[in-house]
Amino acid sequence: MDEIIILADGEFPTHEIPSRKLQNASMIVCCDGAAAKLLSCDITPDFIVGDLDSLDLSLREKYRNIIIESDCQQTNDLTKAFNHSLSLNPSRIIILGATGLREDHTLGNISLLSDYSLMSSVSVELWTNLGRFIPVNSGGIFYAAKGSQVSIFALDCNLKIESIGLKYPLDNVVFDNWWRGTLNESIEDSFELKFDKGRVLLFITY
């Protein structure tokens, strides 16, 4: 399996980029609360995963052959869907619909990205209607159209990062608060971050 799309029960994809990704997906693992929204767009998921507390009884019966039920309360439905997706051995997982609607769910889902990236070698990203969240554990080159807005969130407050290709260099930034690396801009079609090891989340607008 090359790529799996996970659809969570937040703001449904409306921007053309995530919407097209959903329309063209070869496999969709849907959190139970998002199933009705997806089906209303005439798209049938390959799997519906969760504790089923948000899935109508009629849909439970109709789609019982593709339902993966888990009543574990130690993980949310997004993590249940992610774990099931990992079992299918994809090379890439893209999460859609995981932000918006409720700020607490949004923060929780974004924070999980770093954990997901450490769970396996599978590439994982979270796409919103504005841009992409990418978990990064070491430096590298990242592609972003010139003029794209870029925010860097360092989850390790002692991390030192050098940058090339950003409007505001990060070399002297102390990441003691989440806002410190936000609202930057790519001045070319790619930029480079230099650091050996650490937990970082990038946000790059479309």
In this predicted structure, the answer to whether residue 85 has a pLDDT above a threshold of 80 is yes
Task: Say yes or no: 11 and 95 in one domain.
Answer: yes
Same-domain pairing of 125 and 145: no
Q: Where are the alpha helices (DSSP H) in 34-177?
A: 35-40, 57-62, 77-86, 103-119
- Overall domain count for the chain: 2
Q: Which residues of 149-178 are buried (b: 16+ CB within 10 A; e: fewer)?
A: bbbbbbeeeebbbebebbeeebeebebeee
Same domain flag for 125 and 173: no
Verify that 55 and 7 share a domain, yes or no.
yes
Note the pLDDT of residue 3: 97
Range of the domain at 51: 3-129
Residue 53 clears pLDDT 90, i.e. is over it: no
36 in the same domain as 22: yes
Asked if residues 9 and 77 have their Cβ atoms less than 8 Å apart, the reply is: yes
Alpha carbon distance 65, 67 (integer Å): 6
Tell whether the model's pLDDT for residue 1 goes beyond 80. Answer: no
The answer to whether residue 113 scores a pLDDT higher than 90 is: yes
Q: Could you tell me what percent of the chain has a pLDDT over 70?
A: 100
Q: Could you say which of 129, 152, 171 is where a domain stops?
A: 129
For the cut 80, the answer to whether the pLDDT of residue 73 exceeds it is: no
- Whether 20 and 81 share a structural domain: yes
Domain harbouring 67, CATH code? 3.40.50.10240
Among the three residues 129, 159, 175, which one is the final residue of a domain in this structure?
Answer: 129
56-65 pLDDT, tens digit each? 899 999 999 9
Mean pLDDT (the chain) is: 94
